[in-house]
Amino acid sequence: VDQPAIRPSRHRLRVVAVGDISASMRRVTVSAPTLTDLELAPAQDVGLVFADPAGREIRRRYTIRLVDRRAQTLSLEGILHGHGPGAAWFANVSPGAEIEAIGPRGKVALSEANWHLLAGDESALPAFAELMCIAPPGRPLIACVEVDGPEHEVDLGARAGQQIHWVHRNGADRGGSALLAAAIDGIAAPTGRGHVVLLGESRSVVTLRGVVSRIGIDGSQVFLKGYWNRTPGR
């Protein structure tokens, strides 16, 4: 999928609805007419603009979901992981709030292939949902997603030919690669040329690139992006 050549710009978002879609993920729907008027590619993102204690601007990136051009709204889905300005905003936001965002950004996409593998942690769920929605009908797609337990799973809108393998941490630390590596090792790869998207903790996705090579996928057929950085000792 070719990305439109739209340069990121600043947009004012106004919150119109807030709701939980799992035990740890909150969907915030915003009115964003200057964004929904643009040609947005699936799974692009925006940087929400916050300020640090010294008043300096800091940004946190969230995937654009469920664009409704007629209503001029889109949704952002944030993990309530308990630390940082992004998670705090999702934990406390209510309708009527406003926030600035910079976007659209991002290049995650499905390349031409006979089948797709999407693997990552809960930060990747919004992007995976968007990619599953645009995947060609009937083309095999396997998603391996690590979350803490069943109550943290979200509806990814899987269609015929799309399988989801939920991998449960059961209280283990977030951001490791071992559980997803075992899940990837265990998939029955469909025939033909596969394409892989790896999104999640930065070091973990690099490790997982090595794992997908073991199931016969060439590095040129892997898109990987670190979505967050684990803090040592947390």
> Which of 131, 128, 174, 176 minimizes the C-alpha distance to 154?
128
Q: What is the DSSP letter of 111?
A: P
Dist. CA 118–CA 109, nearest whole Å:
11
The count of chain residues that interact with ligand FAD, using the rule CB under 6 A, is: 24
CB of 227 to ligand FAD, least distance (A): 4
Query: Is residue 60 involved in binding ligand FAD (CB under 6 A)?
Result: yes
Dist. CA 204–CA 184, nearest whole Å:
13
On whether the CB atoms of residues 165 and 146 are closer than 8 A, the answer is: no
Query: Is residue 79 involved in binding ligand FAD (CB under 6 A)?
Result: yes
CB of 3 to ligand FAD, least distance (A): 13
Cβ proximity to ligand FAD: between 133 and 187 the closer is 133
Looking at residue 115, its amino acid is: W
Cβ proximity to ligand FAD: between 70 and 234 the closer is 234
Cβ proximity to ligand FAD: between 61 and 115 the closer is 61
Question: Contacting ligand FAD (CB under 6 A), which of 61, 116, 152, 195?
Answer: 61
**What are the tokens at 10?**
């600043």
CB of 73 to ligand FAD, least distance (A): 16
* 175 three-state secondary structure: coil
Query: Is residue 230 involved in binding ligand FAD (CB under 6 A)?
Result: yes
Query: Is residue 45 involved in binding ligand FAD (CB under 6 A)?
Result: yes
Number of alpha carbons in the 13 Å side-chain half-sphere of residue 202: 5
Looking at residue 167, its amino acid is: V
Which window, 3-11, 136-144, 158-166, 224-232, contacts ligand FAD (CB under 6 A)?
Answer: 224-232
Residues 103-162 that bind ligand FAD (CB under 6 A): 106, 123, 126
Number of alpha carbons in the 13 Å side-chain half-sphere of residue 32: 30
Question: Contacting ligand FAD (CB under 6 A), which of 86, 103, 140, 194?
Answer: 86
* 66 three-state secondary structure: strand
Query: Is residue 56 involved in binding ligand FAD (CB under 6 A)?
Result: no
Please state whether the peptide bond connecting residue 150 to the residue before it is cis, i.e. omega within 30 degrees of 0: no
Question: Contacting ligand FAD (CB under 6 A), which of 28, 77, 103, 156?
Answer: 77
Torsion of CA 199, 131, 145, 89, to 10 degrees: 70
Query: Is residue 62 involved in binding ligand FAD (CB under 6 A)?
Result: yes
> Which residues contact ligand FAD (rule: CB under 6 A)?
45, 60-63, 77-79, 81, 83-87, 106, 123, 126, 174, 227-231, 234
